[in-house]
Structure 1
């Protein structure tokens, strides 16, 4: 799409903010800032709205399953929560992180007009993620002894091990689902993702009711419903790519198996960056299993992390949207547009985080009712709601900055920051407060919140110090380095389209 000014230049009440090359002019004055804010808000949520809806629906398939299981009993809820929040979250984080390499490559390639590369990148990612799923199988097969080794009670660990075996099919669905999602998101073809996810969520509600309540299959029925819904999601997304995305999808290609190592390195950097974030909150649930009254501690934390997960998933959608915006603008060679879209997104995300915190604090005595009928768990959730609100506030900014890192290709830098803030500072502090200081769950969570706060401050500093002109100059080199693009371009010179703008 040709880059044209987004404001009416002839209008007296509007300020010209976009130059002839499609990038923003230097901004001076509040009127210019307001114009940029409005433009970027429309661009962000045109992409981000459907992605947020899609991610929330996808997360809803997990949360709905947890809700149905929660009414089977406290042990069942704790065991299934361990399955989802520890085992499945571990694999989800690893695969999602590796799949996020596509956000960097596909987004920058699309912005630069290299649309023929998208299908090859997606196929490479599917190959790599499928191999990763096979590597992860021992974690599922030996979940019970692993959980016992981590300190979980035998009753919870034994039942969680059974549930984990039953959700193995769900694991392999992610190897197709994540690459297909990133392929479509890079081109802003997000409406189809939203509709597919909504349909799968509706199907999941019906399947849970059918298998758990109508057939009386209990936790096994919940696992079966999750498996079916996950594969329905994966096949529908891949089918849409093959059937309706002819520009980016040129059929299966042997080029998907070439230059895999560079692609694997970027995938691993992305995985480490995101996994250190996802596993950090997971570790709270594991550590809580060592506390007294572990069923209540794990159950209340699982409910809080599930509620926090709704906001985290929403911001994972914003994460994907800002990643697309940043990678597209870098591919188009627009440094100011990249910088301003980041500033606007961080500001809006902070406002959303404040609203979420206020809602949690206002409804603290009723949050647990969604997941359980146990009075003990409801009171425990209310007791933790203050920390939950602070966590939701911090989590509103942090995923956005991570999305910027993915769009710009800074995965390795952010991985080091996450490692230091989370596992060298936050986790030990939480352990000291929780066990040595005898503050229990409050201490564990409070110490780990301190790690998130430090990480957020450092990432904001990185954004402030970033030279976006340099980032634009490095974009082409990154695509050659990570995507093996030079070899592929030689056989596709007749297919190169003209440079694309942002949809």
Structure 2
């Protein structure tokens, strides 16, 4: 849902509506905070939910333990994701990078201390995660409230509670777009839990998803950059520059994807030993290496196209694409091949790859067909709908009163 912040802040920055970016950020905090609270029962009752749908008892119990620890992380995302997009939209990527690097190093240090040295186990690992995540947010708060965003942060304002409905709609479409994508792989992991020798199946599938996710993080940078560039250029009214930005981001990302494709093909078996010492699991991962390699190649294409969609504010269109690609094609194919054709984890991954492949083709076609001059007009209309003339006067007074 935080992608709505990315769309509005990026287009507002391009249009020079700097003071509105702080208002959009506060509105996103309200919407995402309410949504996180609505989702709480899923985290509190994870074990009975998984047991109810037939998962193995030991898997359900362990998942339930972790889910309780994830509640503070859930609320941290309300701030970390929106602030990151707010800062990236005004091209303050360095501060995001430095704070994230500090958070990561602290996470590694605390994990080593709590888990290895002090032997706190799961509690130690999750505590390290929570502490490092919230310290990142505190650093971002200090940067914003400390005066390093003078043009875009004018203090807390009652205007954040106005015109919420259009932003709620954009947030929901953004959330559906991303969730349909994230839930897709999660559902496939869930399905792996019903297979013979479920522990090995889940382990192998999770290892491949982790490797895929590592490479996806690199491509996620291109998603963010393409979103910022597209939204900024649309806000400025420059359709030609927006189209050129797509080409640059796409070509660069594909080159990086090809490098990872080669590495995955060459080190197919060795990769698994980063995660496990089990020969059985390593063999299962090795059998998936070709499918994993092509998944990593597609990772270099569709995130850029998703970023383009977010920058243009057409998340609802991508949500329908994801729904059709993943749940009408990918998931049924994975179930048929995995359970009916008895291909097990390989069948599930073929389904995953098929869904991503269809999504990539559809997004490529839709991006090619978009009228970017029309998108410039829509961006202008959207910004005009949310625009508040000034926050310099009354809002500053409100900020002082709140303080």
**TM-score bin (small chain):** over 0.9
Partner of 1:20: none
Q: CA deviation at 1:448?
A: 2.1
Tell me the SS of whatever aligns to 1:156.
Answer: helix
Q: Give the number of aligned pairs.
A: 394
Residue 197 in 1 paired to residue 100 in 2? Answer: yes
Partner of 2:389: 489
Aligned equivalents of 1:199 and 1:221: distance in 2? 19
Partner of 2:258: 354
Is the contact made by 1:181 and 1:193 (CA closer than 8 Å) also made in structure 2? yes
**The one of 104, 108, 117 aligned to 1:214:** 117
**The one of 401, 411, 415 aligned to 2:315:** 411
Is the contact made by 2:19 and 2:390 (CA closer than 8 Å) also made in structure 1? no
**The one of 127, 132, 137 aligned to 1:224:** 127
**The one of 451, 460, 469 aligned to 2:373:** 469
Residue 427 in 1 paired to residue 331 in 2? Answer: yes
Aligned equivalents of 1:490 and 1:313: distance in 2? 38
**The one of 12, 15, 24 aligned to 1:121:** 24
Give the stretch that moved more between structures: 371-380 or 205-214: 371-380
Aligned equivalents of 1:149 and 1:417: distance in 2? 31
How far does the alpha carbon of each residue in 1:439-494 deviate from its partner, in whole angstroms, 9 at most, with x for none? Answer: 1110111022111111111111111111111111221112234xx22xx2266699
Give the stretch that moved more between structures: 360-369 or 402-411: 360-369
Partner of 2:305: 401
Is the contact made by 2:29 and 2:82 (CA closer than 8 Å) also made in structure 1? yes
Tell me the SS of whatever aligns to 2:263.
Answer: helix
Q: CA deviation at 1:238?
A: 2.1
Tell me the SS of whatever aligns to 2:187.
Answer: helix
Is the contact made by 2:154 and 2:392 (CA closer than 8 Å) also made in structure 1? no
**The one of 224, 231, 235 aligned to 1:320:** 224
Partner of 1:44: none
Tell me the SS of whatever aligns to 2:287.
Answer: helix
Partner of 2:293: 389
How far does the alpha carbon of each residue in 1:207-242 deviate from its partner, in whole angstroms, 9 at most, with x for none? Answer: 111111111111111111111111111111122112
Instruction: Within 5 Å, give how 1:9-48 maps onto structure 2.
Output: none
Q: 1:188 to 1:292 in 2, by over 3 A?
A: same
Residue 263 in 1 paired to residue 163 in 2? Answer: no
Unaligned runs of 5+ in 2: 396-403
Aligned equivalents of 1:365 and 1:441: distance in 2? 16
Tell me the SS of whatever aligns to 1:489.
Answer: coil
The Cα RMSD (Å) is 1.5
Tell me the SS of whatever aligns to 2:305.
Answer: helix
Partner of 1:167: 70
Residue 153 in 1 paired to residue 56 in 2? Answer: yes
Aligned equivalents of 2:375 and 2:393: distance in 1? 26
How far does the alpha carbon of each residue in 1:158-186 deviate from its partner, in whole angstroms, 9 at most, with x for none? Answer: 11211211221111111111111111000
Q: CA deviation at 1:402?
A: 0.4
Is the contact made by 1:308 and 1:388 (CA closer than 8 Å) also made in structure 2? yes
Q: 1:129 to 1:295 in 2, by over 3 A?
A: same
Tell me the SS of whatever aligns to 1:116.
Answer: helix
Tell me the SS of whatever aligns to 1:348.
Answer: helix
Instruction: Within 5 Å, give how 1:33-112 maps onto structure 2.
Output: 98-112=1-15
How far does the alpha carbon of each residue in 1:268-296 deviate from its partner, in whole angstroms, 9 at most, with x for none? Answer: 11111111111111211111001001101
Is the contact made by 1:273 and 1:415 (CA closer than 8 Å) also made in structure 2? yes
Q: Scaled by the length of structure 2, what TM-score is found?
A: 0.95
**The one of 248, 266, 269 aligned to 1:344:** 248
How far does the alpha carbon of each residue in 1:326-373 deviate from its partner, in whole angstroms, 9 at most, with x for none? Answer: 010111111111111112211221221111111111111111111122
Q: 1:312 to 1:245 in 2, by over 3 A?
A: same
Q: Following TM superposition, where does structure 1 have runs of at least 4 consecutive aligned residues deviating by more than 6 angstroms?
A: none
Q: 1:490 to 1:191 in 2, by over 3 A?
A: closer
Is the contact made by 1:308 and 1:392 (CA closer than 8 Å) also made in structure 2? yes
Q: Scaled by the length of structure 1, what TM-score is found?
A: 0.76
Unaligned runs of 5+ in 1: 1-97, 496-503
Is the contact made by 1:177 and 1:238 (CA closer than 8 Å) also made in structure 2? no
Aligned equivalents of 1:157 and 1:220: distance in 2? 17
Is the contact made by 2:195 and 2:201 (CA closer than 8 Å) also made in structure 1? yes
